[in-house]
Chains A and B, each alone.
Chain A
Amino acid sequence: MARIDTKTTSEIVAAHGAKPELLVQVLATIVKRFGWVPDDTIRQLASELNLSRADVHGVVEYYEDFRTAEPGKHIVKICQAEACQAMGSEKLTRYAEKSLAMSLHDTEKDITLEPVYCLGNCACSPAVMIDGKTFGRVDEKRFNEIIDHMRGSN
């Protein structure tokens, strides 16, 4: 993902009419495009939306999606919620950690591995999301396939 710059930040703010009540939407747009919210961006948003830095910081800190560290090139989320638990998501998670040689919440090389609590794919559990695409009925074999495919698309 490209690194966010001040010009793009200003454009995103402008596209939201520079309305402070759209802060969550502005941040969601930034994270969708750039993956995270750097400190400088928090400062800039505060100034351009006429909010205090504490206000913006508070919102960024509150929401899971608004990462404050740069993620890997690919974001792999494994559902940890009950429907997926019932179909072995814990075991799948341990397998994923082992095969990727990393733990949940880690960023290594090109991958950020995160837990997620429900992808709404509960009739085809366990579910995994890679770079915004949801996969269902993921067993170990299928996990390997979708990770290989992800790496192939580098």
Chain B
Amino acid sequence: MSRTKIYVPRETTAVSVGADEVALEIARVAKKTGTEIELIRNGSWGACWLEPLVEVDVDGTRIAYANVAADDVASLFESGLVTGGEHKRRLGPIMEIPYLIKQDRWTFWRCGLTNPLSLQDFEQHQGFKALQKAFADGPESVLKAVEDSGLRGRGGAGFPTGIKWRTVAKTQSEQKYIACNADEGDSGTFSDRMLMEGDPLGLIEGMAIAGFAVGASRGYIYLRSEYPLTHSILSRAIDTARGAGWLGENIDNSGFDFDIELHIGAGSYVCGEETAMLESLEGKRGIVRSKPPLPAHAGLFGKPTVVNNVVTLASVPNIVKLGAERYAGMGVKRSKGTLAFQLAGNIKRGGLVEKAFGITLRELIDDWGGGTASGRPVKAVQVGGPLGAYIPAEQLDVPMDYEAFVGIGAMIGHGGIVVFDDTVNMARQARFAMEFCAIESCGKCTPCRIGSTRGVEVIDKMIAGKDREENYDLLVELCDTMEGASLCAMGGMTPYPVRSVLNYFAEDFASSDEKQV
């Protein structure tokens, strides 16, 4: 009898709610009961609300058990876990869970499915096929595919990836770089982390394709230090790829050399800004650079550099393999393809939902998310991290589309969706936006460095009821200054959440005294 495969995710969220303990207990009980099992630590499917989500392979069908605790394991075995037996934790076949099967999994299709550290598993699931196709078709073909796909930067700015790659490809230089931005600091976002933990070899393949397309032989991944488990998984994956000849010299006898160096950040939010990240990669203070020059012309160590987010790079292999048309066939208008939306905060069914652009915020929050975790009404939803606007409950029918969001003074950013119920005091959220900017500002430009501190002071006065109308005008003026005169998005977009509070929740300034937590 062959050994039954049991999957327990080794992914930060699953582990944060007990997946390691569950895995240990499964191994212990299996040994004790003489049950032959193969324990596989897969990535997460992204249905975080079901974690720890254990799966058992029964004749090729993976049966899911949700919210499994170590205490459940003994009774699971007694109920016939290895044959998919009935149990209060049993959900049924993983491929029948609506939350998962209704998604458009383009970039995250291997996450959850495979063992992220198994090269064999990766290769059995199309791994490195896109890179081989790139080698066969040549750099021009890759550049054209990325351009035609309409892929835009998933880190937040949404700049067309094809234009960026083309610029670097055209810029003459003996040395060029691919710099992968894995400094995912926005609250409410975790898609980069899930990809790196669930399919790190997919990211490596995407980076190698980028290097081949633009003529770069070196890649860097700048990973934030708050992700230690990701660090461990990603560094092992890089070693694995290198050991098998997928990184290094003359990859797959193509004549193309490419290797990746993994750098770790040190707790600075602004290092997620591309030029600050380049400074940090050079070993310096993460201070934002003035643009121009663009990193595509003079980036890391002054050389032409493609700076792309994790999800952007990991979307490329399927674009190369399945064709730009298929990717561009999803989405709406200038927002082509898919985005990995992240449902977070006060939400019943939080997790990652990769869907084509065009779905509405309400569909994501209600149909996928199931409303708030508290069961209370939604009051506000912050989309796009700490620099994103708070969207009031009345506006949730906005489609997820870069331009539609700009139209309502908001931004999609990295696709993080943080839900707040009606107990939140929005004046305090506006204050936090300014406070966060004051804490994290790199200090190079005055509007951001000083403006944020002044912003906190002005909001404090408003909350205290001091000259509320005059301070309101002052705050609007301050937002104008920060927005217009800051060097980067840190100071330039902190006004977004603040303005949205002024526009939609101004009454909370008056009531903040009594509603304080």
Hey, which bits of chain A sit against chain B, CB under 8 A? 19-25, 27-28, 31, 58-59, 62-66, 81-87, 90-91, 116-125, 127, 129, 132-137
What is the minimal beta-carbon distance from B283 to any residue of chain A, in angstroms? Answer: 4
Report the minimal beta-carbon distance from A1 to chain B, rounded to whole angstroms.
Answer: 16
Residue B264, interface by CB 8 Å: yes
Q: How large, as a class, is the contact surface on chain B?
A: 35 or more
Q: Which residue of B lies closest to A79 (CB)?
A: B187
Enumerate 9 A-B pairs (CB-CB under 8 Å) in ascending A order.
A58-B285, A64-B266, A65-B266, A81-B188, A117-B440, A119-B226, A120-B224, A122-B345, A124-B17
Q: How far is the CB of A67 from chain B (nearest CB, A)?
A: 10
Docked Cα-Cα span, A83 to B351, in Å, equals 12
Name the B residues within 8 Å of A91 (CB-CB): 517
The 4 A-B pairs with the shortest beta carbon distances in the complex, nearest first, are: A123-B350, A64-B267, A81-B187, A86-B345
**Best-surrounded residue of B16, B268, B284, B416 (most CB of chain A within 10 A):** B16
A125 touches B345 (CB 8 A): yes
**Cβ-defined contact, B268 with A63, below 8 A:** yes
A120, B264: Cα distance in complex, Å: 16
**Is B314 an interface residue, CB under 8 A from the partner?**
no
Asked whether, in the complex, the Cβ of A136 is within 8 Å of the Cβ of B16, the reply is yes
Closest approach, in angstroms, between the C-beta of B73 and any C-beta of chain A? 19
The answer to the question of B122 belonging to the interface, with a C-beta cut-off of 8 Å to chain A, is no
Q: Does B48 contact A (CB under 8 A)?
A: yes
A116 CA / B229 CA spacing, docked (Å): 17
The residues of B that contact A23 with a CB separation of less than 8 Å are: 283-284
Say which one of B84-92, B234-242, B329-337, B417-425 lies at the interface with A: B417-425
B342 / chain A contacts, CB cutoff of 8 Å: 122-123
In the bound complex, how far is the Cα of B220 from the Cα of A24, in angstroms? 14
The tally of CB-CB contacts under 8 A between chains A and B is: 157
B310 to chain A minimum Cβ distance, whole angstroms, is 12
B418 touches A83 (CB 8 A): yes
Measured between alpha carbons, how far is A118 from B13 in the docked complex, in Å? 13
B517 touches A86 (CB 8 A): no
Q: Quick check: is B344 within 8 A (CB to CB) of the other chain? A: yes
- Is A81's CB under 8 angstroms from B386's CB? yes
* B13 neighbours in A (Cβ, 8 Å): 121, 123-124, 136
Chain A neighbourhood of B188, CB < 8 A: 81-83, 122
CB distance from A123 to the nearest CB of B (A): 3
Interface flags, B214-234, vs A, CB<8A=1, else 0 = 000000000011111100000
Contacting residues, chain B, for A133 (C-beta < 8 A):
15, 228
- State whether A124 and B16 are in contact (beta carbons under 8 Å apart), knowing that A86-B418, A91-B517 are contacts in the complex: yes
Q: How close is B385's CB to chain A, nearest CB, in angstroms?
A: 8
Q: Identify the closest chain B residue to A142 (Cβ).
A: B17
By the criterion CB–CB under 8 Å, are A136 and B225 in contact? no
Interface residues of B in 184-233 (CB under 8 A from A): 184-190, 193, 224-229
Contact A123 B344 (CB under 8 A): yes
CA distance A20 to B49 in the complex (A): 44
Point out the residue from A20, A62, A82, A119 that lies within 8 Å of B268, measured CB to CB. A62
Contact A124 B266 (CB under 8 A): no
In-complex Cβ contact of B373 among A21, A65, A87, A118 (8 A): A87
Q: Identify B16's interface contact among A22, A82, A132, A135, CB under 8 A.
A: A135
CB-defined interface of B406-446 with A at 8 Å, one 1/0 digit per residue?
00000000001011110010000100100010011000000
Known: A81-B187, A82-B429, A123-B48. 4 other contacts (CB 8 A): A28-B265, A66-B266, A120-B226, A123-B350
Q: Which of A58, A65, A90, A121 contacts B225 (CB 8 A)?
A: A65
Interchain CA distance A137-B190 in the complex, whole Å: 16
CA–CA, A136 and B373, complex, Å: 14
Contact A118 B280 (CB under 8 A): no
How far apart are B327's CB and chain A's nearest CB, in angstroms? 26
Measured in the bound complex, the distance between the Cα atoms of B286 and A58 in whole Å is: 10
Is B343 among interface residues, defined by CB-CB distance under 8 A?
yes
Contacting residues, chain A, for B373 (C-beta < 8 A): 87
| Interchain CB contact under 8 A, B186 and A118 | yes
Assuming the contacts A64-B266, A124-B48, A125-B345, asked whether A85 and B432 have C-beta atoms less than 8 A apart, the reply is yes
Task: Verify B268–A64 contact, CB threshold 8 A.
Answer: yes
**Cβ A132 vs Cβ B187 within 8 A:** no
A121 adjacent to B190 (CB under 8 Å): yes
Whether the pair B283, A134 counts as a contact (CB closer than 8 A) is no
Distance from A39 Cβ to chain B, minimum over Cβ atoms (Å): 18
* Pairwise interchain contact A24-B266, C-beta atoms closer than 8 A: yes
CA distance A122 to B346 in the complex (A): 9
In whole Å, how far is B260's beta carbon from the nearest beta carbon of chain A?
14
Residue numbers in A under 8 Å from B282 (CB-CB):
21
Contact pick for B266, options A21, A63, A81, A137, CB 8 Å: A63
Q: With an 8 A cutoff between CB atoms, is B269 at the interface? A: yes
Within 8 A of A (CB), among B253-282: 263-269, 280-282
**Chain A residues, CB < 8 A from B15:** 133-134
Residue B382 is within 8 A (CB to CB) of chain A in the complex: yes
CB distance from B259 to the nearest CB of A (A): 15
Contacts of B352 in A (CB 8 A): 123
* CB atoms of B187 and A24 under 8 A apart: no
Contact present for B12 and A120 (CB under 8 Å): yes
The reply to whether B285 and A27 contact each other, CB–CB distance below 8 Å, is no
Known contacts A62-B286, A83-B187, A134-B229; decide if A24 and B386 are in contact (CB<8 Å). Answer: no
Question: Could you tell me if B283 and A120 are in contact, using CB atoms closer than 8 angstroms?
Answer: no
Q: Are B517 and A83 in contact (CB under 8 A)?
A: no
Which residue of chain B lies nearest to A84 when distances are taken between CB atoms in the complex?
A: B187
A132 vs B12: C-alpha distance when bound (angstroms): 11
Given A59-B283, A59-B284, A122-B345, decide whether A90 and B517 contact each other with a Cβ distance below 8 A: yes
